[in-house]
A = this chain, B = another copy of it.
Amino acid sequence: MIKIINTLNQNEDVQKEIDSLLNRSQLEFGEVNRLVEEIIKDIRDNKDKAVLEYTKKFDGIELKSMIVTEEEIEEAFSSCDPELIEALREARDNIWDYHSKQLNNSWIQNDKKGVMLGQIYNPVEKVGIYVPGGTAPYPSTVLMNAVPAKVAGVKEIIMVTPPSKDGKINKHILAAAKIAGVDKIFKVGGAQAIAALAFGTESIPKVYKIVGPGNIYVAIAKRIVYGYVDIDMIAGPSEILVIADETANPEYVAADMLSQAEHDTLASSILVTTCENLANKVKVELEKQTEKLSRKDIIEKSLKDFGAIIIAKDLDEAVNLSNEIAPEHLEVMVQNPFEMISQIKNAGAIFLGEYSPEPLGDYFAGPNHTLPTSSTAKFYSPLGVDDFVKKSSLIYYDRKALETNKNKIIKIAESEGLTAHANSIKVRFK
């Protein structure tokens, strides 16, 4: 099933193998693109009417009203397993705690006489959160998207999620929305939901930023409305990379790789190890554990297509490879995991040691599980409070300070041929 690549073997073209592992881009879908463009145009023109038609067409339900009522939320909440509610509440608290450490203060710089500069933080006022429906509803997604927005001070959090054929929303999703403090929930999914949030309809408020994962229609719609509103990122399939030495437990390594592989046949699970013996043991464990897992078929395909065990010369080579791959999740299972932090340049989330498995981060620890995929950790960050806050610069000069510097400003303005810019300084000192 999974392939083993040995970088010490001269005949292996390691770079080519890695390139093929990473070749899972979701950015090119011409035909879907045209379809989504049409849906968006229709929603802009016909608002609620069009939204309801698409909901009938794609979700198979004719809704009278899209808003989820207080009663529906309470009913869902009270029918959930109380232990699950408790676990979600504690996860919410951990997420709140971690994200509140990301808050920055507005600041001023007052070190020059007559000059005050600064940076003012304000929350984005209205935010939309997309939550996928379907067969596997994820309450954790609701928490991970809504809590940072709450921490940032967003005034209005609008959640959209597709209804099932009976016009209902999964109870865990509604419970998580209540726990997270979502303000309004609408029964709408797909590209029509993204368009409704971006442009507003009679019932769905226009927001300024849209976050949350979704299928290819949702991803493409987010790309199209980007610029009209802000979006979080284009999420691709999930990835894990484990760096392990001879001290790692093969059973744990395999279990963690499988926890990614079960997400999606496009998910990628990679082990980079300095120990050939571990490589072989992990391979055996992967096969053994897969047999007992409910999503066996997905796992086997994902490991075959996008899984790999890479044997590296030493830990330096291992971490270099990892920086090149820039994984969404990076587990470091080596003797001294903390010592490697300074070498890790590109990774969404870093899990240190053998008791920090990736699902701990997916659900519970506090850091966000919305992470940059497909090598985009080279330039993107985990979702966080910064995504829901924006800055304004502040500039104050008094008369003396401006006068002292006026000739330099005029000089640059004139070098750019912008005489009205120069004039705006000159009129003040005629």
A residues adjacent to B (C-beta < 8 A):
25, 27, 81, 83-84, 86-88, 90-91, 97-98, 101-102, 104, 107, 109, 115-117, 119-120, 122, 124-125, 135-140, 172, 208-209, 223, 226-230, 234, 251-252, 255-256, 258-259, 261-263, 289, 292-295, 299, 330, 337-338, 341, 344-368, 371-372, 376-382, 384, 386, 390-399, 401-402, 405, 407-409, 411-413, 415-425, 427-428
Contact = CB atoms under 8 A, between A and B. Distances in A.
Q: Which of A86, A337, A395 gathers the greatest number of chain B CB atoms within 10 Å? A: A395
Given A295-B419, A396-B352, A379 B120 contact: no
A408 B258 contact: no
Contacts of A395: 349-352, 356, 360-361, 365, 367
A420 B364 contact: no
19 contacts: A27-B228, A90-B408, A119-B367, A136-B416, A136-B417, A140-B412, A226-B226, A230-B376, A252-B428, A258-B423, A289-B423, A293-B420, A295-B419, A299-B420, A358-B424, A359-B413, A361-B395, A363-B421, A365-B395
A224 to B, nearest CB: 9
Given A87-B411, A365-B395, A258 B420 contact: yes
A148 B416 CA distance: 21
The copy count of this chain in the complex is 2
Contacts of A97: 109
A88 B293 CA distance: 64
Chain A interface mostly: mixed
A361 B393 contact: yes
Given A344-B120, A356-B397, A362 B262 contact: no
A51 to B, nearest CB: 21
B408 A91 contact: yes
Contacts of A386: 386
